[in-house]
Amino acid sequence: MRKVFQAELHQIGEGLVEISALVGVAIEKSTAAFASVDLQGAEEVIAADARIDFLQNDLDERAIDVLALQGPVASDLRMIVGALRMSASLERMGDLARHISQLTRLRFPNPVVPQSLTDTFAELARLDILIAAKVAELLDSRDLELVTDILAAKGAINKIHKTVFSAMAAPDWAETAATTVDVTLASRYFERFGDHGVSVARKVSYLVTGEWQPEDFLAG
């Protein structure tokens, strides 16, 4: 019976790795479509999000079955509850990649952000892609050194996110109201993607150490 239980826990862990890999693909394709105004690429990300949703629901159902039927305690219980929470964060990361693609589709054939912010959003994209890759690796390896990389990337995103709002508040900002709204939403989507990556990292750290990190763990 114990072997069956451990096999189920292993499958749940593998499920998280699979979802994180799809999230990585989603943010790569979504940000590429965002930068190049690629309608087809954006549509592919939007359609593929259903797969992430399906896998999250399937993982959650399996985790709940284990909770109900196996009565896990201690570290095993932490693993299952943590998996439920991490799957929600990963699913949300997939949603945010989809939202970025939806903005691309909405403004096609025009770019979402003005040329003055092209490089800024390219760097946000690079950092989000990095976080997605590190999260997938962290879920697979449980190597907590990766958490440092994730936090550093999120700290950089926070600083860039602030510069976007400073640019929009500057006297020389002459973009339309629609563009201003689009830039606000896009910057928020990129920033929140990183937040959820940190959330997953924090939970993995808890599973490994048995201790919650202090609040400044999230500060980045």
In whole angstroms, give the CA distance from residue 4 to residue 1.
5
The region that residue 45 occupies, defined by phi over 0 for left and psi between -120 and 50 for alpha, beta otherwise, is alpha
User: What percent of the chain clears pLDDT 90, i.e. is strictly above it?
Assistant: 80
pLDDT at position 218 is 45
Higher pLDDT, 70 or 29: 29
In whole angstroms, give the CA distance from residue 168 to residue 151.
26
Is residue 3 scored above 80 in pLDDT?
no
Q: 31: Cβ–Cβ under 8 A, 6 or more apart, which residues?
A: 97, 100, 125, 128, 129
pLDDT at position 220 is 38
In degrees, rounded to 5, the angle at the alpha carbon of residue 16 between the alpha carbons of residues 13 and 22 is 145
Cβ neighbours, 10 Å, residue 129: 18
pLDDT at position 219 is 43
Q: Enumerate the domain spans of the chain.
A: 2-218
Contact 94, 21 (CB under 8 A): no
Alpha-helical runs (H) found in 71-215? 74-107, 118-141, 145-169, 177-209
Contact 200, 138 (CB under 8 A): yes
Average model confidence (pLDDT) for the chain?
92
pTM: 0.93
pLDDT at position 109 is 97
118-152 per-position pLDDT tens digit: 999 999 999 999 999 999 999 999 999 999 999 99
pLDDT at position 71 is 67
Cβ neighbours, 10 Å, residue 184: 13
pLDDT at position 2 is 66
48-104 per-position pLDDT tens digit: 999 999 999 999 999 998 887 776 667 777 888 899 999 999 999 999 999 999 999
The region that residue 73 occupies, defined by phi over 0 for left and psi between -120 and 50 for alpha, beta otherwise, is beta
pLDDT at position 216 is 52
In whole angstroms, give the CA distance from residue 207 to residue 90.
17
- Across the range 31-35, mean pLDDT stands at 98
Is residue 166 scored above 50 in pLDDT?
yes
Contact 154, 205 (CB under 8 A): no
Contact 164, 183 (CB under 8 A): yes
Contact 104, 34 (CB under 8 A): yes
Is residue 215 scored above 60 in pLDDT?
no
Topology, domain 2-218: Methane Monooxygenase Hydroxylase; Chain G, domain 1 (1.20.58)
Contact 107, 182 (CB under 8 A): yes
pLDDT at position 1 is 53
